[in-house]
Amino acid sequence: MEKKMPRIEIIEKYCKGCRICVEFCPKDVLEMKGFYASVKNIEACISCMQCELRCPDFAIKVITE
Amino acid sequence: MAYDYEKYIRPGKLPHIWCPGCGHGIVMKGLIRAMGTLNLKKEETALVSGIGCASRLPGYIDCCTLHTAHGRAVPFATGIKMARPEMNVILVGGDGDGTAIGGNHFIHACRRNIDMTYIIMNNYIYGMTGGQFSPCTPTGDKASTTPYGNPDPGFDLAKLAIGAGATFVARGTAFHANQIDKLIVEAIQHKGFSVVEILDDCPTTYGRRNKYKSVIEMMNRLKEIAVPVKAAEKMTAEQLKGKVLTGVLYKEEIKPEYTAEYAKVIERAKAAK
Amino acid sequence: MSKKVAFIQGNEAGAYGALYAGCTFFGGYPITPSTEVAEVMSVELPKIGGKFIQMEDEIGAMAAVLGASLAGAKALTATSGPGLSLKQELIGYGCIAEIPCVIFNVMRGGPSTGMPTGPSQSDVMCAKWGTHGDHPAICLVPASVQETFEEVIRAFNLSEKYRTPVMIMPDEIIAHMRERVVFPEPGEIEVVPRKSPTVPAEQYKPYDISFGDVPPLASFGSGYKFHVTGLNKMQDGFPTTKADIVQAEEERQVRKVNANVDDIVTFEEYLLDDAEVAVVAYGSTSRSARYAVNIAREQGIKAGMFRIKTFWPFPDKQIKALAGKVKGIVIPEMNLGMCSLELERCAQGQVPVLGIFRVDGEPINPDQILEKIKEVK
Ligand SMILES: Cc1ncc(C[n+]2csc(CCOP(=O)(O)OP(=O)(O)O)c2C)c(N)n1
Ligand code: SF4
Ligand code: SF4
Ligand code: SF4
Ligand SMILES: [Mg+2]
């Protein structure tokens, strides 16, 4: 069965732009866009959840079905 | 699935006060997941802290929360636990709060082995007051009060806890976020005084004065120095130089727990009446 | 049925008074001359399922007491001068977070280690000004063993009624003297329970001023959840720096006591009706003062005594009125003039205030007081 693509939600009002999610994503899915983190390449995401776990600010959610 | 942190966050309290990249937020999320795993009842859980950036944590969590004075979380919590042994009592705070001004209370809670879990966010510095050195700042490092390098040797917090008689001691890091909740869950389940040290980062007052110019460099440092206890068993002393062990460092279940012992005192006193 | 009577020390009476008041938690650290309180509590509390803990220092003891009180226990600590100094930061915490508890402080010589076994009355200013910041202060100064028993009960009652730490400060003479105590039956002396919330848990706010200046306090572990901090707080317990709220809350905290001085302040007037000389005294010193007044009367001098039972809040109004009636006030005290300053403040220059100040570890004897009485012209 084909795995559904995750959805990544970045809550800008919480994001403090620390870059942790961007730097430590194993698949280079995220990037900084101005002050905030943003999704660059969702196709590469393996839903490892590391970005969500490490975001100190509750600002990123990896939504899988 | 994205984790639902809202369950234990007080409505309207986010965003929190911590600086960009401060690891305290990562630890708070770990604590929330641990509370969720254990399904802790909010009304039956006391979360107690001292003063410092780390100690601001309880304000965000939806349970019985007590933000005490600098260094005094442990004795306040001791009073709560003695008065209501059925409550889950969790403490959070910083390295300075716990090992400097609160150091005496800390070792005595370890000695008593009173059933509480103490999560210490060790960012090696007094963050809140602008980066003075703490008893955990490595020798030679720069702080606002060690402009020529820190002359003090630091504590090994975990060894201190073990030496003082704590019966569960674990260590994790803010980088290894996935492990934090698991360590806290085990600590809370343990009957006795449990200590979870989370090596943390303070980019604002520690990193920038030392060789870690960004949050990322601080996180990389945590990534590099951490060695899981299991992996360490196969490593040589040479390989372990400059590393810190992570995981459950110590656990014993023989030493009696304090409130249970006091229950026996009550029985003896009533029998003697 | 005849009442239970015992021949006991002031410290022991203090402990039994606490138990009568419903105290179920004691946290302390041993210090002469207060240790007997801890010893009695260690024996008696577990018998009733209460908790006794000897902490690692006085700061820890004060913290444990506040923690236990927040968890619903009526809580007591006992200490003496050096310990009282250590407790001060957390006494302030109890004041701002509004946590009831009782501090039984036996006054000994100071500062610092001073004279551990010598009597003194030099902690009375520390009771009000020891902790920083504006805060309410209630401090009782018993003058006999029986009164120590009764005043500890009143201390607990006031702490619950006004939701604030209350101090009771016998001096070493009262604490270690043995006297006959008649124990009241249960119910004979009123015991004030904690004002618990009446609102559902979701609506509860720990500083809800819609209930007046003293909002009900829920306990941790009783189905309520809330936040407590030592920062300036809002009604919901969370910190604030909003100027109007901080101002109003600070004022309320102090007003709880200041607006109720008539309910709190107690005193004894002895032969004051026609008195020309008033001896103002408190604690053990009042016993010498009473003796001196009696002798003065025998010698035809119209002397009387105003005995302070509640040191804080200070009986301002009564002293002012007294100063308007007499020719002079004599104040014997075992310090270098602490109460004396308060008397001068209240007397507003109407009459001279003559002090007898002793800090040599010896009690003030009636002769000294009599001599001073005679100096009033
Ligand atoms: C009695 C007292 N002394 C000093 C302070 C000032 N102070 C506040 S927080 C702090 C250090 C906090 O450091 P730490 O516990 O490591 O927490 P962090 O801010 O690093 O998270 C100090 C010294 C205080 N609030 N109270
Ligand atoms: S879930 Fe993993 S792979 Fe996907 S964006 Fe986050 S860190 Fe990258
Ligand atoms: S880790 Fe969180 S706060 Fe930091 S940049 Fe990413 S989303 Fe923003
Ligand atoms: S000063 Fe340091 S410890 Fe405090 S919030 Fe900022 S990064 Fe965190
Ligand atoms: Mg720190």
Domain region containing B30: 5-272
Given the CA of residue B23, which atom of ligand 4 is nearest to it?
8
pLDDT over threshold 90, residue B130: yes
pLDDT of A3 higher than 70: no
pLDDT tens digit sequence for B147-167: 999 999 999 999 999 999 999
Domain residues of chain C, as ranges? 1-264, 266-375
**Looking at ligand 1, which residue's alpha carbon is closest to its atom 26?**
B70
pLDDT value at residue C2 = 78
Over residues C336-368, the pLDDT tens digits come to 999 999 999 999 999 999 999 999 999 999 999
Q: Are strands B64-67 and C227-229 parallel, antiparallel or unpaired?
A: parallel
The pLDDT of residue C1 = 58
B1-11, pLDDT tens digit by residue?
A: 899 999 999 99
Task: Give residue A2's pLDDT band: very low, low, confident or very high (50, 70, 90).
Answer: low
Residue B192: CB atoms within 10 Å: 25
In SS3 terms, C276-315 reads as CEEEEEECCHHHHHHHHHHHHHHCCCCEEEEEECEEECCC
- Give the three-class secondary structure for C35: helix
What percentage of chain B carries pLDDT values higher than 90?
99
Query: If 0-12 CB within 10 Å is exposed, 13-18 middle and 19+ buried, where does residue C213 land?
Result: middle
The answer to whether C94 and C4 have CB atoms below 8 angstroms apart is no
Residues of B with CB under 8 A from a CB of A: 1-3, 5, 9, 14-16, 18-26, 29, 174-175, 177-178, 214-216, 219
Residue-wise pLDDT for A39-59, tens only, equals 999 999 999 999 999 999 999
Q: Give the residues surrounding ligand 2 with Cβ less than 6 Å away.
A: A 8, 25-27, 29-30, 45-51, 62
Average pLDDT, stretch C199-225? 97
For the domain made up of C266-375, give the CATH fold.
Answer: Rossmann fold (3.40.50)
Ligand 3 centroid distance, CA of B87 (Å): 35
pLDDT tens, position by position, C246-300 = 999 999 999 999 999 999 999 999 999 999 999 999 999 999 999 999 999 999 9
CATH code of the domain in which B253 resides:
3.40.50.970
- Position in ligand 1 atom list of the atom nearest CA B98: 15
Q: What is the pLDDT of residue C132?
A: 97
Q: Phi then psi for C312, rounded to 5 degrees?
A: -130, 135
Q: What is the pLDDT of residues B190-212, one digit of tens each?
A: 999 999 999 999 999 999 999 99
Do A63 and B2 lie within an 8 Å CB cutoff? Answer: yes
Structure confidence at residue B47 as a pLDDT band (50, 70, 90): very high
* DSSP summary character for residue B144: T
Compute CA B198 distance to the chain's CA centroid, rounded to the nearest angstrom. Answer: 6
Mean pLDDT on C185-214: 97
pLDDT at C319 over 90: yes
Q: What is the mean pLDDT of chain C?
A: 97
Question: Is residue B216 pLDDT above 80, yes or no?
Answer: yes
Residue B116 CB-half CA count within 13 A: 33
Of A17, A52, A61, the CB nearest to B20: A17
Confirm if A37 and A56 have CB atoms less than 8 A apart. Answer: no
Q: From ligand 4's centre to the CA of C63, what distance in Å? A: 26
Bridge partners for B91 per DSSP: B48, B118
Cβ neighbours of B7 in C, within 8 Å? none
Say yes or no: B59 contacts chain C, CB-CB below 8 A.
Answer: yes
Q: Residues C206-232: what's their mean pLDDT?
A: 98
Residue whose Cα lies nearest atom 2 of ligand 3: it is A55
CA dist C129 and C81 (Å) reads 14
DSSP E strands in C192-325: the ranges are 227-229, 267-270, 277-282, 303-308, 310-312
B11: number of Cβ within 10 Å:
7
* pLDDT value, residue B91: 99
Residue where the block lists tokens 């102090």:
C254
- C-alpha distances (whole Å) from C158 to each of C10, C162, C262 are 20, 6, 13
Q: What is the mean pLDDT of residues C43-72?
A: 98
Distance CA B168, CA B188 (A): 10
- According to DSSP, residue A54 is labeled H
Its ipTM equals 0.98
Given a cut of 70, is residue A1 above it in pLDDT? no
Global pTM value: 0.98
Domains C1-264 and C266-375 share a fold: yes
- Do the strands C75-80 and C25-28 form a parallel or antiparallel pair, or are they unpaired? parallel
Query: Is residue C138 within 8 Å of C188, Cβ to Cβ?
Result: no
Domain count for chain B: 1
B257-265 contacts, C-beta under 8 A, 24 or more apart: B257/B113, B257/B114, B257/B115, B257/B191, B257/B192, B258/B112, B258/B113, B258/B114, B258/B115, B258/B193, B259/B81, B259/B82, B259/B85, B259/B114, B259/B115, B260/B115, B260/B191, B262/B82, B262/C46, B262/C51, B262/C53, B263/B85, B265/C46
Asked if residue B28 has its Cβ within 6 Å of ligand 1, the reply is no
How does pLDDT run across B77-118, given as a tens digit for each residue?
999 999 999 999 999 999 999 999 999 999 999 999 999 999
β-strand C108-109 against C115-119: which pairing, if any? antiparallel
CA of B80 to the centre of ligand 5 (A): 25
Given this model, what pLDDT does residue C353 score? 98
Strand-pair category, B116-122 with B88-94:
parallel
Architecture field, domain C1-264: 3-Layer(aba) Sandwich (3.40)
Residue C294 to residue A15: CA distance in whole angstroms: 79
DSSP notation for B96-128: HIIIIITHHHHHHHHHHT-SEEEEEEE-SEETT
Quote the CA–CA distance of C104 and C107 in Å, as a whole number.
10
pLDDT band for position B273 (cuts 50, 70, 90): confident
- Evaluate: CB of A57 within 6 angstroms of ligand 3: yes
Contact B72 C60 (CB under 8 A): yes
- Report CA dihedral (C114, C120, C122, C123) to the nearest 10 degrees: 90
B142 touching C, CB under 8 A?
no
